[in-house]
């Protein structure tokens, strides 16, 4: 793994709490100064209260006062790389803008794209 952000997402995945689905996800969010903020999914028995890795990373960074981001890496152990869910796409758009999204799995497969490609016509403050 040559990309340290992808490696951080894979490492964060190891901390996931997924006793119900066993679907462990890690995320690593790089801020504008190069610092990395990680997150993992944390499941709840009611599922609706589960928090995705991407949202954990964004909220951790925001809670530390960070407001500008470059890119995010998302790691899951799937053959077809797993993009952020719809809720995570909205949070990423709102707080990070059209950042680079790196999808990765533990077997060395990666794909990089812009958030706008995953989330065309995103809803934001311009509609308010």
Instruction: Supply the residues annotated as catalytic.
Output: 54
Cα–Cα dist 118/24, whole Å: 21
Cα–Cα dist 4/29, whole Å: 11
Tokens, residue 110: 């990666």
Cα–Cα dist 68/103, whole Å: 20
Tokens, residue 55: 């949202």
Do residues 72 and 57 make contact, with C-beta atoms less than 8 angstroms apart? Answer: yes
């Amino acid at each position: 793994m040559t990309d340290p952000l992808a490696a951080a997402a894979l490492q964060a995945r190891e901390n996931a709490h997924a006793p119900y689905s066993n679907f462990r996800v890690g995320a690593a969010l790089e801020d504008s100064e190069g610092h990395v903020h990680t997150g993992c999914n944390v499941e709840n028995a009611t599922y609706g209260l589960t928090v995705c890795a991407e949202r954990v990373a964004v909220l951790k960074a925001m809670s530390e006062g960070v407001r500008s981001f470059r890119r995010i890496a998302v790691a899951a152990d799937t053959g077809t790389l797993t993009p952020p869910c719809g809720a995570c796409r909205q949070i990423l758009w709102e707080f990070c803008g059209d950042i680079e999204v790196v999808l990765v799995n533990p077997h060395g497969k990666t794909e990089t794209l812009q958030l706008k490609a995953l989330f065309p016509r995103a809803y934001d403050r311009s509609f308010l």
